[in-house]
């Protein structure tokens, strides 16, 4: 799936959250609701985060240069990690702080009808944004492994960040609604503060999960098992009697971006074959692998005898 799908999802989320944030701030000021203020800050943080994701998507498309010969694809990983940090520090931190203040100094909600109206509109807009994000996410090959596993396997943080943020937003709105109902109908004013703290803890959990997954991408994750197996299958097709390759010594992959994969292969060519035969075999492998897996943008094939090859710490099988 092209990165354009991720960009459109981010733009939809940006537009929805900007409108939601404005409405929530007005409602929070009008009703003195800590939970609504936490939700307003949450939406404002989400809006800023989506701006960061758009910036990261744009930076990741910059062409390679002398200082960055493999391009800027990993920029999206860096900016997505910043998103997780902002969500944790501002979103979660402020929500918990506001909740504690409300519990220490509870006061009745005012103009509760405004709260209910804004929560209803916010749920509708967040629901639409979540629907678009999940639909795009489910179109990815990794989605067939189940939702949680798909999140862990995804190489596109600009998309799974939106999915997680929108899910957290819907759950946060539900918590805010429950807190409002308990405070309004049950007369327990501290419920609003409790709801705010729960929203903060929710955001902290989402931010922690995001940062763990994105850290792995920054360090360098291998391509999916399907891609690895497919590449090995193509190389194996050049092995055998009358074929130019004796054995695959080593095969490694690494994502340099959501749609940018680096592949290195060490192969033992048959003894006695000509340099032209080696060149032809290498050319066929390059063409076949890149044709089947367009995301493979950097492919290096090295000829080494089995006897002289020294494997690194991990070999892919």
Q: Which domains does the chain have, with CATH numbers?
A: 3-219 (1.20.1510.10), 225-303 (3.30.70.1350)
Q: How long, in residues, is the chain?
A: 317
The whole-model pTM stands at 0.82
Strands 245-257 and 260-269: antiparallel
- Answer whether 71's CB lies under 8 Å from 158's CB: no
In the block, which residue shows the tokens 């190489």? Answer: 155
Q: Which of 198, 18, 25 is nearest to 102 (CA)?
A: 198
One pLDDT digit (tens) per residue for the chain, 317 residues: 345 567 888 888 888 888 888 988 998 888 888 888 888 888 888 888 889 999 999 999 999 999 999 999 999 999 999 999 998 888 899 889 989 998 998 888 888 888 899 999 999 988 998 898 888 888 877 777 777 788 888 888 888 888 898 899 899 999 999 998 998 888 898 998 999 999 999 999 999 999 999 999 999 999 999 999 999 999 999 998 889 999 999 999 999 999 999 999 999 999 989 999 999 999 999 999 999 999 999 999 999 888 787 776 554 44
Q: Centre a 10 Å sphere on the Cβ of residue 190 and count the other Cβ atoms it contains.
A: 17
What angle, rounded to 10 degrees, do the helices at 112-138 and 157-185 form?
160
306-310 own/partner pairs: CB under 8 Å, 24+ apart? 306/246, 306/247, 306/249, 306/268, 309/249, 309/250, 309/266, 309/268
Among candidates 238, 252, 250, which has minimal Cα distance to 288?
A: 238
């Amino acid at each position: 799936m092209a990165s354009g799908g991720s960009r459109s999802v981010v733009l939809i989320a940006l537009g929805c959250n900007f409108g939601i944030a404005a409405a929530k701030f007005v409602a929070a000021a009008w009703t003195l609701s800590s939970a609504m203020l936490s939700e307003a800050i949450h939406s404002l943080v989400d809006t800023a985060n989506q701006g960061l994701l758009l910036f990261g998507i744009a930076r990741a498309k910059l062409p390679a240069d002398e200082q960055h010969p493999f391009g800027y694809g990993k920029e999206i990983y860096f900016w997505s990690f910043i998103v997780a940090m902002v969500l944790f520090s501002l979103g979660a931190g402020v929500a918990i702080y506001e909740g504690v203040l409300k519990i220490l100094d509870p006061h009745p909600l005012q103009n509760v009808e405004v709260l209910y109206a804004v929560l209803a509109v916010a749920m509708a807009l967040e629901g639409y944004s979540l629907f678009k994000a999940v639909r795009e996410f489910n179109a990815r090959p990794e989605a067939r492994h189940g939702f949680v596993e798909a999140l862990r396997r995804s190489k596109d943080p600009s998309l799974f960040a939106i999915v997680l943020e929108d899910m957290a937003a819907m759950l946060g709105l539900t918590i805010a609604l429950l807190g409002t109902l308990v405070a309004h109908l049950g007369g327990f004013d501290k419920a609003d503060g409790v709801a705010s703290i729960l929203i903060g803890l929710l955001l902290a959990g989402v931010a922690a999960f995001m940062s763990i997954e994105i850290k792995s991408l920054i360090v360098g994750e291998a391509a999916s098992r399907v891609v690895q197996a497919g590449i090995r299958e193509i190389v194996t097709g050049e092995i055998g009697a009358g074929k130019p390759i004796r054995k695959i010594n080593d095969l490694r992959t690494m994502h340099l971006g959501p749609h940018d994969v680096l592949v290195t292969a060490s192969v033992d060519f048959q003894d006695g074959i000509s340099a032209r035969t080696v060149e032809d075999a290498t050319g066929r492998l390059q063409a076949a692998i890149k044709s089947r897996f367009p995301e493979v943008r950097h492919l290096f094939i090295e000829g080494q005898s089995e006897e002289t090859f020294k494997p690194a710490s991990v070999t892919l099988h």
